[in-house]
Chains A and B, each alone.
Chain A
Amino acid sequence: MDTLLHLLLLLVILLNFFLLGSSRLASCIRTTAFQGGILSLLPLLAHGFSGHTLFLASVAFLLKGIAIPYLLFRAIRQVHIRREVEPLIGYVPTLILGTLATAGAFIFSGRLPLIPEHSQSLFVPVGLATLATGFLMLISRRKAITQALGYLIFENGIFIFGMLLTEAMPLMVESGVLLDLLVGVFVMTILMHQINREFSTMNTDNLTSLKE
Chain B
Amino acid sequence: MRITILQLFLHLLLLFGLSPLLSGVIGKTKALFAGRVGPPFLQLYFDIWKLFGKGLVISRTTTWIFRAGPVVGLAVPVLAALLIPFGPVGAPISFSGDLIFFVYLFGLSRFFTACAALDTGSSFEGMGAVREVTFSCLAEPTVFFVFIVLARLSGSFSLDAMFGPTLAASWHTAAPSLLLILVCLFIVTLVENCRIPFDDPNTHLELTMIHEVMVLDHSGPDLGMILYGAAMKFLVLGALVVRLFLPVTTGNIALDILLFIGGLLFMAVVIGVIESVMARLRLLRIPQLLVGVSLLSFFSLILLLR
Contact = CB atoms under 8 A, between A and B. Distances in A.
Given A7-B176, A110-B306, A125-B306, A92 B287 contact: yes
B291 A107 contact: no
- Dominant SS at the B interface? helix
Interface stretch (B51-59, B162-170, B269-277, B292-300): B292-300
Interface string B218-231: 00000000000000
A13 interface: yes
Contact of B176 (A10, A103, A107, A110): A10
Interface string A1-27: 001001100100110010001000000
Contacts of A107: 302, 305-306
A96 B291 CA distance: 8
- Dominant SS at the A interface? helix
Nearest to B289: A21
A106 B295 contact: no
B207 interface: no
Interface size class of A (residues with CB under 8 A): 20 to 34
A17 B303 contact: no
B175 A3 contact: yes
B306 A95 contact: no
Given A6-B176, A106-B306, A107-B305, A21 B292 contact: yes
A95 B298 contact: no
Interface residues of B, number: 14
Nearest to B298: A99
Given A6-B176, A95-B295, A21 B288 contact: yes
A164 B306 CA distance: 19
Given A102-B302, A125-B306, 12 more contacts: A10-B176, A17-B296, A92-B288, A92-B291, A95-B288, A95-B292, A96-B291, A99-B299, A103-B299, A106-B305, A107-B305, A110-B306
Complex A-B, nearest 5 residue pairs according to Cβ-Cβ distance, in ascending order: A99-B295, A103-B302, A92-B291, A106-B306, A10-B176
26 contacts: A3-B175, A7-B176, A10-B303, A13-B299, A14-B296, A17-B295, A17-B296, A17-B299, A21-B288, A21-B292, A91-B288, A92-B291, A95-B288, A95-B291, A96-B295, A98-B295, A99-B295, A99-B298, A99-B299, A102-B299, A103-B302, A106-B302, A106-B305, A107-B305, A110-B306, A125-B306
